[in-house]
Chains A and B, each alone.
Chain A
Amino acid sequence: MGLDRTEFRALFERQRQPLHRFLARLTGNAADADDLLQEAFATVWRKRELYAGRGSPDGFLRQTAYRLFLNQWKRAARRRELAPPPGPEPTAPPAGTELADEEARRFLLSQVRKALADLPESSREAFLMFRFDGLTAREIAEATGTPVKTVETRVRRATLALAEALARYRHLQAG
């Protein structure tokens, strides 16, 4: 059983914003996210017969969007060879500094990004989907075509690695 137009519209209304967030985080900008989102919905509609009996339409949509991201955007992004962020690396503020301090906040943000960048790519993506898109391990597995247990391992390992990397800056986080 495929997806009819009414169900498709409901899927769009339900997933429009979450999927946009998901794609914006993957691509790093809203415009690319919009393009991928439109293409993802169009692909889901074209392949609606394939969806029949394969999990939720939401999962099918995320899986489609993620594959499009891998196939199109990521390949192009690799060619662009993203340059490192401009400006000097922020230096660590002295112990006891509050998070309200803008300088401390920027420093912590740079360390979070660095810690994320140090993760294996598959773990980073699984963790970010879990953390920011509110997806379950099963949903991530569905979207990325990965076994659930592998996703759980990736999220767990990413969590432990990030915690270890960021432990020394715990004092910068607002209490």
Chain B
Amino acid sequence: MHHHDEPEPDADDALPEGLLEAIRAVTEGELPSAELAAALAAIEAAGAVALLEAYRDVHAATSLLAGPASECAVTLADVERATSARRPLRRLWGLRSVRVAAALLVVAGVAAAVWPHDVVPTVALAFAEETARVSPEAAAAERSAALLAEYQPVRDGEPQWIDDPARARDVAAVTGRRVLLFAQHPQCPWCQELRGKTFHDAGVQARLERFVPLMVDVTRIPEGEAVAYLAKGWPYFAALDAAGDELAALPGPASSTQEFTGRLDRTLGKVAPDAAGEREWGPVRASAQRLRAAAALAEGDDLAGAERELRELVAADGDGAFGAAARTRLAELGNEALAVVRDAERKASTDVSGALALLEAAVRRFAGTSWGRDLDAVRSAVEEHGRFPRLVFPVSGDDGHAGDRK
């Protein structure tokens, strides 16, 4: 209660309760004579005759203020609509301002629904960001592709010894074979006999083809490594796995080609009894050539050709190292296209024409590819609607072309 804006009445000012109402009743002449007499007596007893006179004057003067009474426009129905206890919303609805606001909202909603700028187009992208994970096999295929594109272990009757241990290990990983290490010294007589005679034997060559032949010239390797071979003597033969670990050492110099052949057979029986995991050299060569061709096409900006080669490689060597390398390259191309889409999306919020320029350049670069079609769909949506579309990535995951999101 906030009624301290006026001093509390003085005791002297206090009027008997009802006296003001009696003064008003006397003034307005609404009392029967008996009550009028009693009221006047009470007024006089309270010493309020002057107040009665004052009120009469003021009553007369202020009657000018009364004016014609205005009629109330509110009906019981209005109030009941506004007082519906069961549905508070109906009470709100009873207010005209709320109804007007609701109508405006409906109009705004309809406008938003039909106004082209507010339509968010949707574009489904067949590619999606994929972790460009490079498997060890795919990496080995990439590193050895140049060598393997032309490689035969025995060509024109001559064994094609690989002289780089790291490359030999890559070839072993790609082909599923063991490395046959031949450590030799140029002046070693046994070594010369092996190179000049034994390795030209058809039986020996047939067995060499099951290995990845690696010849190390101990005079051409770092001294520390050469010392290790000195300790073992030369020629030195050993079967290594793709990591370079020695699986088996062949005993020292053989007295004959037959003996050497026998040692190779025993070693093979020991380190690679089953040839099922070994890939044929011909198909490996073809895959390496295809991977190199795809690289060359991509370098020449023929991404359509590159994609074609890579997809054929995936089809031909799906579970092989070159197939894995092809999937990685497809994912990288898809990610490059997606990066453009993301850049354009960011740019579109402030610069739609800049975003369109990015997309148009990417459409040209990826022309004829599956990513080019998607990029063009995004570009069209931006061009038509003046805003960036909502993107949808169907998850179908096959060869790096689709959104295999893990």
Contacts of B58 in A (CB 8 A): 131, 159, 162-163, 166
Task: Indicate whether B373 reaches chain A with its CB closer than 8 angstroms.
Answer: no
A166–B9 CB distance below 8 A: no
Given A34-B72, A41-B83, A45-B85, A112 contacting B61 (CB threshold 8 A): yes
A-B contact count (CB 8 A): 138
Question: In the assembly, what is the distance between CA of A116 and CA of B62, in Å?
Answer: 9
Task: Indicate whether A46 reaches chain B with its CB closer than 8 angstroms.
Answer: yes
Task: Closest A residue to B96 by CB, please name it.
Answer: A35
Tell me the chain A residues, 123-175 only, with Cβ under 8 Å from chain B.
Answer: 123, 130-132, 136-138, 144-150, 152-156, 159-160, 162-164, 166-167, 169-170, 173
B9–A173 CB distance below 8 A: no
Task: Closest B residue to A109 by CB, please name it.
Answer: B64
Task: Indicate whether A9 reaches chain B with its CB closer than 8 angstroms.
Answer: yes
Task: Indicate whether A54 reaches chain B with its CB closer than 8 angstroms.
Answer: no
Segment at the A interface, from B31-39, B49-57, B200-208, B296-304: B49-57
Task: Closest B residue to A145 by CB, please name it.
Answer: B1
Task: Indicate whether A96 reaches chain B with its CB closer than 8 angstroms.
Answer: no
B61–A153 CB distance below 8 A: no
> B50: shortest Cβ distance to chain A, in Å?
8
Task: Indicate whether A78 reaches chain B with its CB closer than 8 angstroms.
Answer: no
Interface size class of B (residues with CB under 8 A): 35 or more
A146–B3 CB distance below 8 A: yes
Segment at the A interface, from B11-19, B237-245, B328-336: B11-19
Task: Indicate whether A65 reaches chain B with its CB closer than 8 angstroms.
Answer: no
Contacts of A73 in B (CB 8 A): none
Task: Indicate whether B276 reaches chain A with its CB closer than 8 angstroms.
Answer: no
A167–B57 CB distance below 8 A: yes
Given A41-B83, A113-B65, A146-B3, A173 contacting B51 (CB threshold 8 A): no
B6–A130 CB distance below 8 A: no
Given A109-B65, A120-B6, A150-B6, A42 contacting B20 (CB threshold 8 A): no
Question: In the assembly, what is the distance between CA of A156 and CA of B13, in Å?
Answer: 9
B65–A163 CB distance below 8 A: no
Task: Indicate whether A12 reaches chain B with its CB closer than 8 angstroms.
Answer: yes
Segment at the A interface, from B74-82, B266-274, B374-382: B74-82
Question: In the assembly, what is the distance between CA of A37 and CA of B78, in Å?
Answer: 11
B6–A30 CB distance below 8 A: no
Question: In the assembly, what is the distance between CA of A9 and CA of B1, in Å?
Answer: 29
Question: In the assembly, what is the distance between CA of A66 and CA of B53, in Å?
Answer: 30
Contacts of B9 in A (CB 8 A): 149-150, 152-153
A interface residues, how many (CB within 8 angstroms): 58
Contacts of B2 in A (CB 8 A): 145
Task: Closest A residue to B57 by CB, please name it.
Answer: A163
Interface string of A27-55 (1 = CB under 8 A from B): 00010011001110110011000000000
A108–B64 CB distance below 8 A: yes
Contacts of B66 in A (CB 8 A): 132
Task: Indicate whether B91 reaches chain A with its CB closer than 8 angstroms.
Answer: yes
Task: Indicate whether A17 reaches chain B with its CB closer than 8 angstroms.
Answer: yes
Task: Closest A residue to B5 by CB, please name it.
Answer: A122
Interface of A is mostly: helix
B91–A37 CB distance below 8 A: no
Question: In the assembly, what is the distance between CA of A113 and CA of B20, in Å?
Answer: 22
Contacts of A170 in B (CB 8 A): 57
Task: Indicate whether B59 reaches chain A with its CB closer than 8 angstroms.
Answer: yes
A17–B62 CB distance below 8 A: no
Task: Closest B residue to A70 by CB, please name it.
Answer: B2
Task: Indicate whether B69 reaches chain A with its CB closer than 8 angstroms.
Answer: yes
Task: Indicate whether B263 reaches chain A with its CB closer than 8 angstroms.
Answer: no
Which of A8, A108, A146, A173 interacts with B1 by CB under 8 Å? A146
Task: Closest A residue to B21 by CB, please name it.
Answer: A136
> B303: shortest Cβ distance to chain A, in Å?
69
A30–B73 CB distance below 8 A: yes
**28 chain-A/chain-B pairs, Cβ below 8 angstroms:** A12-B76, A20-B71, A38-B79, A41-B83, A42-B83, A45-B79, A112-B62, A116-B62, A120-B6, A122-B6, A130-B20, A131-B58, A132-B62, A137-B20, A146-B1, A148-B17, A149-B9, A150-B3, A150-B8, A153-B9, A154-B6, A159-B54, A159-B55, A159-B58, A160-B54, A162-B54, A162-B62, A173-B60
| B binding-site residues for A, Cβ under 8 Å | 1-3, 5-6, 8-10, 13-15, 17-21, 24, 51, 53-55, 57-62, 64-66, 69-74, 76, 78-79, 82-83, 85, 91
17 additional A-B pairs beyond A33-B70, A144-B3, beta carbons within 8 Å, are: A17-B71, A17-B72, A19-B72, A24-B70, A39-B82, A105-B64, A112-B65, A121-B5, A130-B20, A131-B59, A137-B17, A145-B3, A147-B8, A152-B17, A153-B13, A163-B53, A169-B61
